[in-house]
Amino acid sequence: MSHREGYVLMLFKKFNEAVANNRLEKSFKIVWSGRLRTTAGRALLSRNSQQHMAEIELSSKILNSFEKLFQTICHELCHCTVWLIDHTKGDHGPLWVKWMRITKAHFPQLQITRCHNYET
């Protein structure tokens, strides 16, 4: 998939504006990884004494289409939104489900699931 960095930035901006009301931009990073071979992406959540921080790591091996990228970014952004806005970690609990429903309302074409299940 060419132009993947541009797609990532565009998708982040769309999600941040539509779902998170532009509350995700501070301390946010999205990176590509060749090390992820069994999962499409993961949210890495941390904090210091001043702020909550989030990073999304995306698999360059698994995410080979725009559709997979869109679904995975939205899934992981829901985790990050729970952390950055609600200030809690919750895996796929009620707060993640809440943000997932908001995301699906804005992007009804998405098939966001609890687990990424892509053939490699």
Instruction: For residues 117 and 96, give the distance between their C-alpha atoms in angstroms, rounded to a whole number.
Output: 18
Q: Taking 50 as the threshold, does the pLDDT of residue 1 lie above it?
A: yes
Domains and their CATH numbers in the chain: 4-106 (3.30.2010)
pLDDT digits (tens, 9 = 90+) for 45-79: 999 888 889 999 999 999 999 999 999 999 999 99
Instruction: For residues 25 and 58, give the distance between their C-alpha atoms in angstroms, rounded to a whole number.
Output: 18
Residue closest to 73 by CA, chosen among 30, 117, 25: 30
CB 11 within 8 A of CB 72: no
Instruction: For residues 27 and 49, give the distance between their C-alpha atoms in angstroms, rounded to a whole number.
Output: 13
CB 25 within 8 A of CB 52: no
pLDDT at residue 115, as a whole number: 63
pTM across the whole model: 0.89
